[in-house]
Homo-oligomer: A and B are copies of this chain.
Amino acid sequence: MSAAEPKPVSMFDVAKRAGVSHQTVSRVINDAPMVAAATRAKVKAAISELGYRPNRSARTLAGGAVRSVTVFTFDTSLYGTAETLRGIEDAASAAGFTVLISVLDPEQTYTEGEILGRLSHDGAPAIVIAHDETTTQARRILRKAQPGAVVATGDDKLRDEPGAADWLVPLDDRLVAKRATRYLLSMGHRTVHYLAMPGKARRQDGWSEALLEAGIEPPEVIPSGWTIGSAATAAADLVADPEATAIMCGNDDLAFGVLHAAHHAGRSIPGDLSVIGFDDCPMAAYHIPGLTTVDLDFRGVGRSAFELLRHKLEGGPEPRTSWRSPELIVRETSGPARPRS
């Protein structure tokens, strides 16, 4: 049915065609100096005539500069991780890097061998998007095994580890969580509840700090899963309680779940209840009512993570951090507390 696959053209084919040695071809495709302009042109011509494309496996095997990153994450379809991945991909492909992805199951515990075995080879560069236990652990394993080739992003508490600045691109949302909580307090709410995603996020710290500073004992955190549905379930009791007038949620999806639950409990937004999310996903602005939330530049963080990794790999000037800092965006799900009767 199908013709025999034609043997792919190698560096030697190009070399023969251009009348040079294979090493010269190598120099040309790696933009090495010490090649005469005329030779370079000849080789380039041969390359395009033959449609030659270098073999990445051979390149890595031969120990050339590494041109791939493995991204570890626990879910590619959540807004935050998807955007971060996107940012990494943007920066990586612009730099000619290949992106591999490795999804870790949050339900599972991985051994060191299982994590390292997911790399294309020992010492291969990696970026960990760490938002939960499993990915955080993966980060620990990877950093221990090959500190020079791993960076991480995310919102786990372990950023307090010594030297974290060397390898962490943090989404500094603690401060803005604090600001958001203060904002709610300033609207007359007597306290602010927090609906948390699995894992410990710094934003939770910001929330409790703000309350404490206002002399308020933080109420018990409401634990939720990652899905809208789990948030709706988790918040069911809370939204039914007329005493609760302000809820901050770990991310926008959870906020949507809470809003849904509140709607079914017959509470009006923001009259009876103020709700705040995190992420500013595209839906937030188009939800009715518009969701008050925190703009988080995941894509920028992803890009920066890649730049930092590249810096560790290739040296060069320290890349400057370049993502928007988190900011509270007030829309229509938050407002003044109803005066107490």
Residue A55 CB within 8 A of the other chain:
yes
A57 adjacent to B120 (CB under 8 Å)? yes
This protein's copies in its complex: 2
Residues of B within 8 A of A89 (CB): 76, 101, 103
Residue A35 CB within 8 A of the other chain:
no
CB distance from A108 to the nearest CB of B (A): 11
Residues of B within 8 A of A122 (CB): 8, 53, 55
Residue A214 CB within 8 A of the other chain:
no
B286 adjacent to A229 (CB under 8 Å)? yes
Contact of A260 among B82, B260, B286 (CB under 8 A): B286
CB distance from A323 to the nearest CB of B (A): 16
B98 adjacent to A100 (CB under 8 Å)? yes
Residues of B within 8 A of A8 (CB): 121-123
B77 adjacent to A103 (CB under 8 Å)? no
Give the bracket for the number of chain A residues in contact with chain B: 35 or more
Of all chain B residues, the one with the shortest Cβ separation from A264 is B288
CB distance from A70 to the nearest CB of B (A): 8
Interface residues of A in 271-319 (CB under 8 A from B): 282-283, 285-288
CB distance from A182 to the nearest CB of B (A): 29
Given contact pairs A48-B113, A57-B57, A86-B103, a sample of 15 additional A-B residue pairs in the complex whose CB atoms are under 8 Å apart: A2-B148, A5-B123, A51-B113, A56-B57, A56-B120, A57-B58, A58-B121, A76-B82, A77-B79, A89-B103, A93-B103, A98-B120, A99-B100, A256-B287, A260-B288
10 example contacts (A-B, Cβ-Cβ < 8 A) are as follows: A57-B120, A76-B85, A76-B86, A90-B103, A99-B101, A228-B282, A229-B286, A253-B282, A259-B288, A287-B287
